[in-house]
Homo-oligomer: A and B are copies of this chain.
Amino acid sequence: MENKLKKNEMKALNNVKYNQTIEFKNKPVINGNYSVVGPKEGQGHFGKFFHYVMKNDLFNEKTYEKAEKKMIEKALSGAIHSAGLKPEDIDLFLAGDLLNQIISSSYAARSFDIPYLGLFGACSTMAESLAIGSCFIDGKYFDTVACATVSHFSTAERQFRFPLELGNQRPPTSQWTATASGSTILSLKGQGPRITKATFGKVTDYGISDVNNMGAAMAPSTMSTMVAHFKDTKTKPEDFDLIITGDLGKIGSEILIDLMEDKGYKLGINYCDCGQMIYKEKQKPLMGGSGCGCSASILNSFIINKLRKKEYKKVLFMATGALLSTTATQQGETIPGITHAVVIES
């Protein structure tokens, strides 16, 4: 009996290794999640699913940067609370955001007394943190890990494009950075949806240099990671209840569908993009939402809800990042993209 147990445990610990994909034998459980969004996002399609809708974009702070920090702090503490835990129960905090030196995440980490690893993957951060966090849990390095990310329309516009006060007109290909944050708690034990696989993406660049066309810049990297995932795991688009990217927007999603078709994969009605769905048409989002908080907030509300209720059985969550830098752009560089993926099963 003892030997049998050991054999099973051995098997459990012997991780199957693919090319870019890891299959988790101990399948980390999502036992806590929380989402915080701004007023505009609260009026969008997912308004009633978000846990907390801010009354104003400043979140009663003096600057948008301070508001952004407060949002990720609220998302993190909400997720910890929803898991029935206390901050001291969290072994590690994995987070990143769009701001230079990821200040929202780092200052939030200062507020909680938890070991912290700062990440930068632009809008791919939610999947990056879940993929790394899942390895830490699956490998039994930590019992409980918190993952989080945040973005804010006003801080992102100021940093990457123009300050709002300038009143610039937005070109038709532009996306609207969501004011949103999401946090997930991963544990070795508990009941709930589980992360079963993670695919680590490669930096991919098809030569887009237009800072107002992020969807086109990111789509090739999403195709690269999606093809790697399907090949590594011998799956196809039909094997998932939902394949969700975040955030390619309208143009980017269409490019992805075309790119995937070129590779022999047909994305059907089970494919959606968070950026394309977060706002209602009357909110005039142009190509849709973007920002790492967009997919993070939808994942940590609507999608995880559906997984908990077993209305979704298997979801491929792909967070897509545009590695946009104003300095590099000014020096003639194009915008590379990166996409990481995790599979969540109910």
- Interface residues of A, Cβ cutoff 8 Å to B: 3, 6-7, 9-10, 13-15, 17, 20, 22, 62-63, 65-66, 92, 96, 99-103, 106-107, 109-110, 113-122, 128, 132, 135-136, 138-143, 159, 200-205, 323-328, 331, 333, 336, 338
Q: A115: which of B3, B65, B200, B327 is its contact (CB, 8 Å)?
A: B200
Please provide the 9 A-B residue pairs with the shortest distance between their CB atoms, ordered closest to farther.
A139-B139, A115-B200, A101-B325, A110-B203, A109-B203, A118-B120, A120-B120, A106-B323, A100-B100
Contact across chains for B142 and A17 when beta carbons are under 8 A apart? yes
Q: Is the CB of B7 within 8 A of A140?
A: no
Besides A13-B13, A115-B202, 16 new A-B residue pairs in contact (Cβ under 8 A), listed by A number:
A14-B140, A15-B140, A22-B141, A63-B331, A66-B331, A100-B100, A100-B325, A101-B323, A103-B325, A106-B323, A107-B323, A109-B203, A117-B132, A118-B338, A119-B120, A139-B141
Tell me which residues across on chain B come within 8 A of A15, comparing CB atoms.
Answer: 139-141
| Set of chain B residues within 8 Å of A141, measured between Cβ atoms | 15, 17, 22, 135, 139
User: Looking at the complex, which one of B6, B66, B107, B122 makes contact with A101 (CB distance below 8 Å)?
Assistant: B122
Copies of this chain, count: 2
Q: Which residues of B contact A109 (CB under 8 A)?
A: 202-203, 338
Question: What residues on B are CB-neighbors of A92 within 8 Å?
Answer: 200
A132 to B100: give the CA distance in the assembly, Å: 22
A interface SS class: mixed
Complex alpha-carbon distance, A271 and B205, angstroms: 44
B119 touches A118 (CB 8 A): yes
Query: Once the chains bind, are A106 and B17 in contact (CB under 8 Å)?
Result: no
Contact status B140-A138, CB under 8 Å: no
CB pair A107–B202 under 8 Å, yes or no, is no
Asked whether A118 and B116 contact (CB < 8 A) given A6-B7, A103-B325, A139-B15, the answer is no
When chains A and B are docked, how far (Å) is the Cα of A233 from the Cα of B139? 20
**Residue in B closest to A7 when the chains form the complex, CB atoms:** B6
- Measured between beta carbons, the chain B residues less than 8 angstroms from A22 are 141
Shortest CB distance A90–B (Å): 11
| Contact, CB under 8 Å: B128 / A117 | yes
CB distance from A141 to the nearest CB of B (A): 5
A6–B205 Cα distance when bound, in Å, is 45
Tell me how far the C-beta of A50 lies from the nearest C-beta in chain B, rounded to whole angstroms.
27
Chain B proximity of A328: nearest CB distance (Å): 5
A142 to B17, CA, bound (A): 7
User: Which chain B residues lie closer than 8 Å to A159 at the CB level?
Assistant: 327
Residues of B within 8 A of A204 (CB): 110
Specify which of A113, A141, A205 lies most central, judged by the most chain B CB atoms within 10 Å of its CB.
A141
Q: Which residue of B lies closest to A131 (CB)?
A: B117
Partner of A103, one of B62, B101, B327: B327
Residues in B neighbouring A65, C-beta threshold 8 A = 327-328, 331
A142 vs B201: C-alpha distance when bound (angstroms): 14
